[in-house]
Each structure stands twice: as structure tokens, then as C-alpha cells.
């Protein structure tokens, strides 16, 4: 079977951007854990407030 090169292929792919990847979750966890405990609590409180108030 000959291999064809130079052909363009168009694909339709659905990407769910609402879910974070495992890589993103790991990076966020690592970065947050580097901050002191007080800052982590403050960041978490701000995130909860933003989530509740929209």
C-alpha cells in the first residue's frame, strides 16, 4: 500500500474546555503548595467567593 504525503485532512473535534487536565491540576497543586498556609487559605476563600457570587 503506497503512503500518500501532502494530503490535507479536515477533522471536527469537540474539546471540553470546562474540565481541567491532570497536568493543569498537578501544576496548580504544586504552585499553591509553595505558598505559606495563610496565603493558601486566602486564595481558597477568594475562589469560593468568586464561585458563589459569579
- The model's pTM is 0.51
Please report, in tens digits, the pLDDT of each residue of the chain (54 residues total).
677 788 888 999 999 999 989 999 999 999 999 999 999 999 999 999 999 997
Contacts of 33 (CB under 8 A, 6+ apart): 40
First to last CA, the chain: 57
What are the boundaries of each domain within the chain? 22-53
Amino acid at each position: 500500500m503506497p503512503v500518500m504525503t501532502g494530503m490535507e485532512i479536515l477533522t471536527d473535534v469537540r474539546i471540553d474546555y470546562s474540565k481541567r487536565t491532570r497536568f493543569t491540576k498537578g501544576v496548580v497543586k504544586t504552585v499553591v503548595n509553595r505558598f505559606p498556609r495563610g496565603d493558601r487559605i486566602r486564595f481558597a476563600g477568594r475562589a469560593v467567593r468568586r464561585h458563589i457570587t459569579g
